[in-house]
Structure 1
Amino acid sequence: MTKTAAPPKMTARHVNVHYGDKQAIIDVSIDVCVDEVTALIGPSGCGKSTFLRTLNRMNDTIPIARTSGDIRLDDEDIYAPEMDVVQLRARVGMVFQKPNPFPKTIYENVAYGPRIHGLAAGRAQLDAIVEQSLNRAGLWDEVKDRLSDSGTALSGGQQQRLCIARAIAVDPEVILMDEPCSALDPIATAKIEELIHELKGRYAIVIVTHNMQQAARVSQRTAFFHLGQLIEYGATSDIFTNPRQERTKDYITGRYG
């Protein structure tokens, strides 16, 4: 791995995930850095979403899932018994494949996190957080006159940007995105890609994507997964132009996947 100036925001070492008897992730080690977007690519069912979910303990919600290995956020063990999972998920936000706004107003979707985490000292501060988050998510101009409308009434692309606004409203340190554009049209996808580019200086971002062109456009580092294993991990330009592993080359050139 190439050395980066700053220490990694998150480190994963020898991570394994089992669903009952089935092993979904096999001995994966990776670093996630601020100022970089890390893309996880690979065929369907290769474990990239499962691995993404280990980074904020979302697999804890699956009774048969077991995770082992060492995952740290700023050198804190996120699986330590004293780790507050609610707090962890505020620090490591998640945007899912299918937009999932709360059945509340647009305003309340964004205000919900800051309110429960006590990040606003009053209504004016909450208003400012909502506006800033919607602005950062590229949605403010489209919804500023209809903040009391339901979030579920927005278009798919707008709903996904609302979910991104909701994730960034609690000022996380890392944002995980699980195929955030797979349900969106090309225009909405372009807006989200532009947004990822703008957000990367502020957060460490990890994105799972099926779209290799998207990985090449938005990420600085790429991890290629196959059958639960991390086959290759490095600078995106290297992975796409000069992969070291034959399996990576076969996947990039479309021989399988």
Structure 2
Amino acid sequence: MNVNPHISLDVQSAASPPRAVKVRARNVDVFYGDKQALFDVSLDVPERSVTALIGPSGCGKSTFLRCINRMNDTIVGARVEGTIELDGEDVNDRGLDPVLLRARVGMVFQKPNPFPKSIYENVAYGPRIHGLATSKSELDGIVETSLKRAGLWKEVSDRLHQSGSGLSGGQQQRLVIARAIAVKPEVILMDEPSSALDPIASARIEELMDELREEYTIVIVTHSMAQAARVSQKTAFFHLGKLIEAGPTDEIFTNPRDSRTQDYITGRFG
């Protein structure tokens, strides 16, 4: 990957007051059968901000992301050790229902994956099954508000009952984001959310992240150094399953402490 080391930065100043920790990971190891994918990862994710996870393919970024809402539970042979806390509560506690956890921690994947339903039903599905609306009018309000927050309402308000799969790729990804925020999550995980999109749609997703971080905690996996620099306030660099370093995005990109971080950012490997 050839990356310009002089990426322009427009991020929260390092002098800004620190935010409270929303997600706290300590000594996290992940195994897929006999293969260890993550080694002793400890990371704090601050609330109402964007934290970017960067690093070469296969370095453990997505594996760590999936730990936060226990998506690794769905993989046969996966085992997670260590602790991950959401507001001080262990997400791996056996008494914690993973369905309820995933309502609090939404996820947006690399490829837009709307349900084979109408635009309206895509957004209404979560609030309906979680009992968040007591009437049709209340559900209508949730759908409208979610689509507005995802920056999609003006484009689809006159075709809510048409299939979500008929939208463009960028619109589908914003529909998926609307679906995620409809259940009022606290955290939104995004795994390469714009890598399958054209530059214009990608820019819209980045603008949306900047708007959403005022209300939500966002963790994004991205291969794009420029995207990480533009959208995040904190950056964590992973390499070979280990967290090499993490800190304010401007510091990671302009004055990394570890030579491996410097080599990756400047395109010497990755």
Q: TM-score range by the shorter chain?
A: over 0.9
Distance 1:160 1:33, change over 3 A: same
Q: 2-side partners of 1:232 and 1:10: how far apart?
A: 17
Work out whether 1:81 is the aligned partner of 2:86: no
Match of 1:167 in 2: 180
The CA deviation at 1:35 is 2.2
How far 1:129 sits from its partner (Å)?
0.6
Deviation of the 1:32 alpha carbon: 1.1
Aligned to 1:233: 246
Residues in 1 aligned to 2:81 and 2:19: alpha-carbon distance in whole angstroms:
26
Hey, what's the Cα distance between the residues in 2 that align with 1:253 and 1:67? 32
CA shift, 1:193, in A, is: 0.3
Give a deviation string over 1:14-59, Cα, whole Å, max 9, x none: 0010011111010001111112100000000001001000000000
Percent of aligned pairs with the same residue? 71
Rounded Cα–Cα distance in structure 1 between residues aligned with 2:15 and 2:94: 32
- Among 166, 183, 191, which residue is 1:153 paired with? 166
Question: Deviation digits for residues 147-203 of structure 1, max 9, x if unmatched?
Answer: 011111111111100000000000100000000000000110111000000000101
What CA distance in whole angstroms lies between the structure 1 residues aligned with 2:239 and 2:105?
A: 25
Per the alignment, in what secondary structure is the counterpart of residue 163 of structure 1?
Answer: helix
Over 3 Å counting, the alpha-carbon distance change for 1:3 and 1:80 in structure 2 is farther
- How many matched pairs? 257
> Could you say which residue in structure 2 is the equivalent of 1:25?
38
1:218 is matched by which residue type in structure 2? V
Give, as a single letter, the amino acid of the residue that structure 2 aligns with 1:58: M
TM-score calculated relative to the size of structure 2: 0.93
Where does 1:87-106 land on structure 2 (aligned, <5 Å)?
Answer: 87-106=100-119
Of 19, 28, 32, 1:15 maps to 28
Where 1:109 maps in the other structure, the secondary structure is helix
**Structure 2: how far apart are the matches of 1:91 and 1:24?**
25
| CA RMSD, 1 decimal | 1.3
Aligned mate of 2:226, from 201, 213, 223: 213
CA deviation string 1:108-157 (max 9, x = no partner): 00000001111111011111110110011011111111101111111111
Residues of 2 paired with 1:9 and 1:126: CA distance?
A: 28
- The 3-state SS of whatever aligns with 1:93 is strand
Query: Take 1:196 and 1:36, find their aligned partners in 2: how far apart are those partners?
Result: 9
Aligned to 1:202: 215
Distance 1:3 1:155, change over 3 A: closer
CA–CA separation in structure 2 for the residues paired with 1:2 and 1:73: 26
Distance in 1 (alpha carbons) for counterparts of 2:131 and 2:48 = 27
The residue number in structure 2 matching 1:193 is 206
Letter in 2 for 1:14: N
Matched to 2:30, the amino acid is V
What's the counterpart of residue 142 of structure 1?
Answer: 155
Q: CA deviation at 1:64?
A: 1.2
For structure 1, which runs of at least 5 residues remain unmatched after alignment? Answer: none
